[in-house]
């Protein structure tokens, strides 16, 4: 078999592999575009349930658009969520900011958690949860279905209301 014939087989195989990669990437991008806002909404629902209703507690949202480079979509809508407690002289705010991130397998986003006040963790379970949230935030992961994931000592777990109740109590109720 001549080199020319082998070369054509090689080029055909490379083209087929590139087409398959492109199709896979477009499928992943479609998943991300659909699931990113779903998880953002789920985060808001979890936080609203964890916070509850009280005149000294508030949840505020700010819709933003993230510019995207290197994907098949140019922008991605997201919502920054702020939980504010007015317990003393001033308000204290915990902010959750989603973003694209592809650091780990099946990961397509992260949620950073920041605070606008001084915080020194104590030796309690809820302070460990709060410290972990501040240090690592949340991950948006999935391929067939999307999940809000928390890094924990026992391995990654899906974030739930009790997780946010513990973290927010540790951060905001410092009596």
- pTM for the whole structure: 0.87
pLDDT in tens, 111-126: 999 999 888 888 888 8
Residue 109 near residue 71, CB atoms below 8 Å: no
Mean per-residue pLDDT for 155-172? 91
pLDDT in tens, 85-140: 998 778 999 999 999 998 888 899 999 999 998 888 888 888 989 999 999 999 99
Predicted confidence at residue 175, as pLDDT, reads: 56
Residues 137 and 128: their CA atoms lie apart, in Å, by 13
Residues 98 and 64: their CA atoms lie apart, in Å, by 10
- 3-state SS, residue 171: helix
* Phi-psi group of 25: left, alpha or beta (phi > 0 → left; psi -120 to 50 → alpha; rest → beta): alpha
Predicted confidence at residue 123, as pLDDT, reads: 87
């Amino acid at each position: 078999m001549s080199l020319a014939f082998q070369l054509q087989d090689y080029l055909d195989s490379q083209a087929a592999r590139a087409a398959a990669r492109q199709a896979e990437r477009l499928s992943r991008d479609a998943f991300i575009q659909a699931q990113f806002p779903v998880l953002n909404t789920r985060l808001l629902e979890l936080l609203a349930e964890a916070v509850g209703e009280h005149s000294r507690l508030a949840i505020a949202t700010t819709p933003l658009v993230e510019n995207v480079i290197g994907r098949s979509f140019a922008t991605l809508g997201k919502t920054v969520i702020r939980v504010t407690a007015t317990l003393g002289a001033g308000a204290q705010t915990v902010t959750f900011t989603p973003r694209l991130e592809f650091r780990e397998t099946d990961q397509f986003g992260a949620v950073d958690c920041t605070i606008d006040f001084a915080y020194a963790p104590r030796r309690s379970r809820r302070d460990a949860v709060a410290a972990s949230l501040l240090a690592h935030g949340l991950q948006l992961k999935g391929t067939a279905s999307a999940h809000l994931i928390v890094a924990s000592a026992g391995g990654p777990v899906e974030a739930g209301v009790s997780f946010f109740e513990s973290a927010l109590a540790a951060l905001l109720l410092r009596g």
